[in-house]
Amino acid sequence: MTWEDDRNKPDDITEIVDRLMPEEIFMKYIFKNAMVLTMNNQEISESCDVLVEDDVISAIGSLNDEQKNNARVIDASGKLLMPGLINGHCHVPMTLLRNYADDMSLQTWLFDHIFPVEEKLQGEDIYYGSLLGIMEMIASGTTCFIDMYDHMNDLARAVEESGIRAQLSRGMINTGEGPDFSDDTRLNETIDFYKRWNGAANGRITGAFAPHAIYTCSPAYIRAIVETAQKYGAPIHVHLDETLVEHEDCLKKYGKTPAKHLYDLGVFEQKTVAAHCVWITEDDARILADNKVTMTHNPSSNLKLASGIAPVPNALNIGVNVALGTDGASSNNNLNMFEEINLAALIHKGANQDPLLITAMESLKMATVNGAIAIGMDNLGVIKEGAKADIIMIDMDKPHLMPVHNVVSALAYSVQASDVCLTMVDGEILYENGEFKTIDKEKVSHGIKKCYERLF
Amino acid sequence: MTWEDDRNKPDDITEIVDRLMPEEIFMKYIFKNAMVLTMNNQEISESCDVLVEDDVISAIGSLNDEQKNNARVIDASGKLLMPGLINGHCHVPMTLLRNYADDMSLQTWLFDHIFPVEEKLQGEDIYYGSLLGIMEMIASGTTCFIDMYDHMNDLARAVEESGIRAQLSRGMINTGEGPDFSDDTRLNETIDFYKRWNGAANGRITGAFAPHAIYTCSPAYIRAIVETAQKYGAPIHVHLDETLVEHEDCLKKYGKTPAKHLYDLGVFEQKTVAAHCVWITEDDARILADNKVTMTHNPSSNLKLASGIAPVPNALNIGVNVALGTDGASSNNNLNMFEEINLAALIHKGANQDPLLITAMESLKMATVNGAIAIGMDNLGVIKEGAKADIIMIDMDKPHLMPVHNVVSALAYSVQASDVCLTMVDGEILYENGEFKTIDKEKVSHGIKKCYERLF
């Protein structure tokens, strides 16, 4: 192409501008010659082209010349394309507390270590802690996460700037007596946050209401939260039945299980994500299934804090939508969803002595399509025409992935987070070949050091 | 340094030769300014220099000028040095069968999938399958492994060429009736292999005798193996009490547990590594402890094949030496020891609802010092003066490792295999910054493809 060619079309300004558009602002991408695990059906498509226009996957298969026009072509030969992973339960700012307190009882961990530091946290800590966690997530293939924490404007700012997708909620813990909670600080912060951020950043950020747990919120407080959530049409994010102590205390105090308690308080009338559900009964699982409540399974955290092993195979059988999550990095101690996929496919087999439980594909579904159901987006968690362009690319040319007998098994049992070579959210490349495109690694590193020095 | 300087010392040929020695054959390395987890004590040394001469760690701390002379200096700032990991139970040629048969019962897996392919395996498959597995191991920080398989000369060739350290044994399964096994093919192959390879490659390769398991070897056969092993002073490698079926069948058939059965047959008079031990009783654990038998814990494989969860915390309490292993890649489906370290530190907490079980340091010990005890080398599994230079270096400048509150926790709960940036065995660098120094990746990739096409 020479300037002479351009001169031949002096009136076609649009085409010239398109042709000169710098790569950085491409809004059209073709992943060329990829192996594709759509998760829409369970098949693998070989040598497939995927077209992304703006924030949407607009075509899959062989593309025509018009479709190919003006797109940045990404060579995906020998690579696997799949939907980005959805982390169904996280406290991303706690990444700042990674490897800070381990191998101790829940009481010692929480009251002697986590709570005292959390009291000192400021907006800056939340912002940098979140950016650090988001870096880890996008480098390991996570494109969306469901989070509950504090200082939510700072967390939302990190999400907005980084380009990742998230459902965010301010965790609410009971302080006042009630029954009137109209002056409750946390509830009012939640309302303000929801109004400001729900639907922000091209819809990448959505809000939820988060009563922390039944042991930190009184029934009256939970009712007040539910009624406000109903007023705004907001979903709910809550911890549920994480430990045997919570389960037994609830039976003693309310004469029913934690799940039944939340059901009776009307929580499940709103779209709900319930994290953990380690001790739910069969009846509880039916309540969750009937009310379309998502149960988020957090295997690393439940093992590490010795909460137990959630009855995931039974819950799936009953029809509960089970998503996967990492929980916070202070009880994991990472935000690597491929590790959770691996654990979910391993531990239930071992604990129940049944090698047929939780297949590789079931575990991958929990981390993709079931996560999309959790967040209420049917155009997420799959690669199909019209779906959001939340896509990850995996380099299969690694000794630990050879030979490629079965891609699905490889993803559940062999892959390493570092095999992710590209992460795209909402049609924007956030991470490619080890480089962060929207986050300044040095700035985050420096910010984390400053926060760390003040806090510890 | 100029030629003039050299001319001043015309007689000192040795020094000139040393000085002109190309980097590729350096026999002296300094890891400069490293963070060092020695595993000798449990402390972390900061800003430490480690000198390697030939195959030995010859100094740690501040080095003098003479020590620094003629060494290749490796900048280890921001890096962690630790002993290479020891994989206490593997079938490395089975890497060729990775992701070939998953999510099925042990019977279907073994009889319908694994055994039929194994029958077709030739020396070339073993050689390339082993090289592939060794590539994965050295890229993920494993410097030594204990293996049992078939076509052992081909496996040993891969070990010799690659530079990794291994204890190798030909798995023996009963076919003849006995009581005379002097013509037994497998036993004779074992003897030949042991004579040829034990102590080979500067001692990197050692041999062992491997009665496969109590359910594949008759008591008379096991006795014949033990007597031969005693004659050669060889150690034993055996599968023990992997499944509940094995345990209960043994009780029925011999009126005692599998461990007691092996003890009564004299197996434990030889230095023994017993893989799995999922169903051992408290009395069995005492037998193992009293006889200094190493129990190798293979958490991924035991979970995936639904064998169960080995009683590791109890065994450690009783004083059993517990090492860690991956088992073969066909039941894991990788050879990543950091994953096993992570699992060992997680699953016992969760399964026993006790967050104090198997600390990060205990799990790291299983993968290093306890592995060294398994293989009978007290100069392995630690970084100390006089120890073998089997060292790995880990890049701590990764988002998923920040902030570095606690290095030991980071290694057990946060690290990824890909954080390993250098692997040295016997003073030779086998892997550095993603590059294999002794293995031709393309050749292996090509060889694997050829084998794969013939077999499947």
pLDDT at residue A185, as a whole number: 93
Residue B365 has pLDDT above 60, yes or no: yes
- Return d(Cα B257, Cα B310) in angstroms, integer: 15
pLDDT at residue A13, as a whole number: 37
B403 in reach of chain A (CB within 8 A) = yes
**Are A94 and A159 in a shared domain?**
yes
Share the mean pLDDT of chain B.
93
pLDDT at residue A425, as a whole number: 98
**CB pair distance less than 8 Å for B357 and A306:** yes
**Are A185 and A317 in a shared domain?**
yes
Domain that holds residue A288: 85-375
Contacts of B109 in chain A (CB under 8 A): 355
Percentage of chain B lying above the pLDDT 90 cut: 87
Summarize the confidence of residues A394-407 as an average pLDDT. 95
Interface test with A, best of B413, B452, B455 (most A CBs within 10 A): B413
Summarize the confidence of residues A115-144 as an average pLDDT. 97
Nearest 5°: phi and psi at B75?
-70, 115
Residue A315 has pLDDT above 80, yes or no: yes
Residue A7 has pLDDT above 60, yes or no: no
A418 in reach of chain B (CB within 8 A) = yes
pLDDT at residue B441, as a whole number: 97
Residue where one domain finishes, among candidates A375, A404, A421: A375
Q: What is the ipTM of this complex?
A: 0.93
**Are B11 and B71 in a shared domain?**
yes
A140 found inside a domain: yes
Contacts of A342 in chain B (CB under 8 A): 339
pLDDT at residue B110, as a whole number: 85
pLDDT at residue A25, as a whole number: 57
**Are A261 and A244 in a shared domain?**
yes
Angle between helices A123-139 and A152-162 (to 10 degrees): 40
Residue A426 has pLDDT above 60, yes or no: yes
DSSP reduced 3-state for B310: coil
The radius of gyration of chain B's CA atoms, rounded to the nearest angstrom, is 23
Contact A218, A174 (CB under 8 A): yes
B296 found inside a domain: yes
Contact B183, B189 (CB under 8 A): no
Confidence of residue A166 (pLDDT cuts 50, 70, 90): very high
Share the mean pLDDT of chain A.
93
**Are B243 and B292 in a shared domain?**
yes
Residue where one domain finishes, among candidates B354, B375, B396: B375
Contacts of B333 in chain A (CB under 8 A): 409-410, 413-414
pLDDT in tens, A263-302: 999 999 999 999 999 999 999 999 999 999 999 999 999 9
Closest residue by Cα to residue B146 from B276, B279, B317: B276
B448 found inside a domain: no
Summarize the confidence of residues B150-167 as an average pLDDT. 98
**Are A153 and A302 in a shared domain?**
yes
B456 found inside a domain: no
User: B123: which residues sit within 8 A by CB, 6+ positions away?
Assistant: B151, B153, B154
Summarize the confidence of residues A353-365 as an average pLDDT. 97
Residue A141 has pLDDT above 80, yes or no: yes
**Are A371 and A395 in a shared domain?**
no
- Return d(Cα A66, Cα A62) in angstroms, integer: 12
User: What is the distance in angstroms between the Cα of A109 and the nearest Cα belonging to chain B?
Assistant: 10
**CB pair distance less than 8 Å for B99 and A414:** yes
Nearest CB neighbour to B418, from listed A300, A345, A416: A416
Q: Read off the CATH number of the domain in which A405 is found.
A: 2.30.40.10
**Are B270 and B337 in a shared domain?**
yes
Closest residue by Cα to residue B91 from B310, B321, B275: B275
Residue A95 has pLDDT above 80, yes or no: yes
Q: Read off the CATH number of the domain in which B368 is found.
A: 3.20.20.140
Confidence of residue B25 (pLDDT cuts 50, 70, 90): low
**Are B192 and B309 in a shared domain?**
yes
pLDDT at residue A110, as a whole number: 85
A122 in reach of chain B (CB within 8 A) = no
pLDDT at residue A26, as a whole number: 65
A451 found inside a domain: no
A307 in reach of chain B (CB within 8 A) = yes
Nearest CB neighbour to B399, from listed A139, A302, A403: A139
- Return d(Cα A353, Cα B179) in angstroms, integer: 37
Residue B2 has pLDDT above 70, yes or no: no
**Are B229 and B362 in a shared domain?**
yes
**Are B166 and B19 in a shared domain?**
no
Pick the range with the lowest mean pLDDT from A33-47, B83-97, B189-203.
Answer: A33-47
- Return d(Cα A229, Cα A340) in angstroms, integer: 30
pLDDT in tens, A428-445: 999 999 999 999 999 999
Residue B12 has pLDDT above 50, yes or no: no
pLDDT at residue B26, as a whole number: 66
Pick the range with the lowest mean pLDDT from A46-60, A105-119, A370-384.
Answer: A105-119
B452 found inside a domain: no
Percentage of chain A lying above the pLDDT 70 cut: 94
Residue A395 has pLDDT above 60, yes or no: yes
Count of structural domains within chain A: 2
**Are B160 and B70 in a shared domain?**
no
- Return d(Cα A146, Cα A323) in angstroms, integer: 11
User: What is the distance in angstroms between the Cα of A274 and the nearest Cα belonging to chain B?
Assistant: 20
Interface test with B, best of A354, A361, A413, A423 (most B CBs within 10 A): A413
Percentage of chain B lying above the pLDDT 70 cut: 94
